[in-house]
């Protein structure tokens, strides 16, 4: 089968890791790159030996392009994705999926009508770390899940990002920027969310850019930057999540899942190794070595057990979800990093913010499947067992 011919729209900083990842797989071929700035498109095309640079409209209207990789700014994700599916193209977008839920529903409806697939970042849950968590849960190591805690706190992006403005505009902020990683991970492990609640605040009216080339400029902050939330999953699991751009440092773990027989814990990935939560140790404790086992301590039992990782993709592999979409298109199976899951994540985030304004819990109307585990030898497994690969529990 010929590779999926892909047109990139959005040639910003994040596009580099996508293009590097795509170059490792024969199932995709980036044939064009586009942005509103043609000089930016040209530079990216030359850097990655891409044959064509052009405008976004040219990518959408090119009948030889099968799919669009949408890496535009959050405010226009929905518009580009909708244009792509209307043109009969598959689409894979950066997060968030949309900033308007009705547009997200329209994208999925048009895609179904035109028999094309929709995928969406983040795809970090396909990395070795979250896939190892999934295996621990599937194997019953910690029993039935009871609860979870997610924590992601930084002091913004203006210290390192060259153009951080959009992080503080509508559609930005820590919940919409960082929340999708943790919500997607939790939903991929525990299933869809039934209801949510939130509290939010804006701690600073202005942020000082410290990175070049705009060091010294002030940004007006238009969104809340410290958000606490409660989540109730349809399975009965309850979770707490904190996302913040106002925290200088913390020792809290980034994700924990509590079960009837034990606890899974993953700490923050080392920011120097490029994993971006794709890889890293997965720790767990069971009754035998828990802190509260009510038995005399035995040497060595104070430590967490490091789960054996049999999965690939421990380093930053953004774009892996697009690779999975390409195989899904070939094999006519569901996409793991699906538009349905992305839309559900967006509704959860909107629900949290609406709850923060109204003081009421928000009932959710969307749901999604739990994605099938990524085979440990992906993509080699796709050439052997692809037609039988299905997502579990089409509707939970």
Tens of pLDDT, residues 8-65: 999 998 999 999 999 999 999 999 999 999 999 999 999 999 999 999 999 999 999 9
Every domain of the chain with CATH number 3.30.360.10 lies at 131-306
Tokens 């697009």 — which residue?
322
Q: Which residues in the chain land under pLDDT 50? A: 270-275, 295-301, 384-396
Domain 131-306: homologous superfamily in CATH: Dihydrodipicolinate Reductase; domain 2 (3.30.360.10)
Predicted confidence at residue 396, as pLDDT, reads: 31
In this structure, what token pair is assigned to residue 63?
């009948």
Predicted confidence at residue 295, as pLDDT, reads: 47
Predicted confidence at residue 287, as pLDDT, reads: 85
Predicted confidence at residue 272, as pLDDT, reads: 46
CA angle 368, 369, 370 (to 5 degrees): 125
Predicted confidence at residue 251, as pLDDT, reads: 85
Predicted confidence at residue 166, as pLDDT, reads: 86
The CATH number for 4-124+317-336+370-383, chosen from 3.40.1010.10, 3.10.300.10, 1.10.630.10, 3.40.50.720, is 3.40.50.720
CA distance 152 to 32: 35
Environment class of 235 (CB within 10 Å of its CB; exposed 0-12, middle 13-18, buried 19+): middle
Q: Where are the alpha helices (DSSP H) in 56-121?
A: 56-61, 77-86, 101-113
pTM assigned to the model = 0.90
Predicted confidence at residue 268, as pLDDT, reads: 67
Number of H helices, E strands in the chain: 9, 17
Predicted confidence at residue 84, as pLDDT, reads: 98
Provide the terminal-to-terminal Cα distance of the chain, rounded to the nearest Å: 34
3-state secondary structure 35-55: CCCHHHHHHHHHHCCCCEEEC
As a whole number of Å, the CA-based R_g of the chain is 21
Predicted confidence at residue 381, as pLDDT, reads: 76
Cβ neighbours of residue 159 closer than 8 Å, sequence gap 6 or more:
210, 211
Cβ proximity of 344 and 395 under 8 Å: no
Cβ neighbours of residue 205 closer than 8 Å, sequence gap 6 or more:
220, 221
Residues in the chain: 396
Q: 142-193, pLDDT tens digit by residue?
A: 999 999 999 999 999 999 889 899 899 987 899 999 999 999 999 999 999 9
What is the three-class DSSP state of 78?
helix
Element (H, E) at 129: helix 128-138
CA distance 164 to 93: 20
Closest by CA position to 329, among listed 93, 66, 85, 9: 66
Torsion of CA 294, 299, 302, 307, to 10 degrees: -120
Every domain of the chain with CATH number 3.40.50.720 lies at 4-124+317-336+370-383
How many CB atoms sit inside 10 A of residue 106's CB?
A: 17
Predicted confidence at residue 394, as pLDDT, reads: 33
Judged by phi (left if over 0) then psi (alpha if -120 to 50, else beta), residue 208 lies in beta
CA distance 311 to 210: 38
């Amino acid at each position: 089968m010929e590779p999926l011919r892909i047109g990139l729209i959005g040639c910003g900083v994040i596009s580099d890791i996508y293009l590097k990842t795509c170059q490792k797989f024969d199932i995709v071929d980036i044939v064009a790159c586009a942005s509103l700035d043609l000089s930016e498109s040209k530079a990216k095309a030359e850097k990655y030996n891409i044959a064509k640079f052009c405008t976004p409209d040219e990518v959408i209207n090119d009948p030889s392009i099968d799919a669009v990789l949408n890496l535009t700014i959050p405010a226009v994700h929905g518009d580009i994705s909708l244009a792509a599916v209307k043109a009969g193209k598959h689409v894979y977008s950066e997060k968030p999926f949309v900033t308007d839920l009705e547009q997200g529903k329209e994208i999925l409806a048009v895609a179904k009508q035109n028999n094309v697939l929709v995928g969406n970042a983040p795809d970090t849950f396909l990395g070795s770390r979250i896939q190892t968590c999934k295996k621990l849960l599937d194997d019953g190591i910690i029993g039935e899940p009871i609860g979870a805690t997610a924590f992601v706190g930084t002091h913004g992006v203006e210290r390192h990002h060259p153009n951080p403005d959009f992080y503080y505009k509508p559609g930005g902020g820590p919940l919409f920027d960082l929340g999708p990683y943790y919500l997607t991970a939790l939903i991929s492990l525990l299933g869809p969310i039934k209801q949510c609640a939130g509290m939010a605040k804006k701690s600073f009216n202005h942020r000082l850019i410290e990175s070049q080339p705009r060091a010294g400029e002030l940004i007006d902050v238009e969104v809340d930057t410290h958000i606490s939330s409660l989540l109730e999953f349809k399975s009965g699991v309850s979770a707490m999540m904190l996302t913040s751009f106002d925290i200088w440092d913390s020792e809290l773990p980034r994700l924990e899942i509590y079960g009837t027989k034990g606890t899974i814990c993953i700490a923050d990935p080392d920011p120097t190794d490029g994993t971006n939560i794709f890889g890293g140790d997965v720790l767990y404790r069971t009754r035998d070595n828990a802190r509260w086992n009510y038995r005399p301590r035995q040497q060595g039992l104070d430590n967490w057990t490091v789960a054996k990782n049999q999965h690939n993709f421990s380093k930053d592999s953004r774009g892996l979800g697009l690779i999975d979409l390409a195989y899904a298109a070939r094999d006519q199976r569901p996409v793991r990093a699906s538009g349905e899951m992305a839309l559900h994540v967006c509704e959860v985030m909107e629900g949290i913010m609406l709850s923060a304004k109204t003081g009421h819990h928000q009932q959710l109307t969307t749901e999604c499947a739990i994605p099938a585990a990524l085979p440990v030898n992906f993509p080699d497994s796709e050439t052997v067992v692809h037609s039988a690969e299905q997502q579990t529990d089409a509707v939970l």
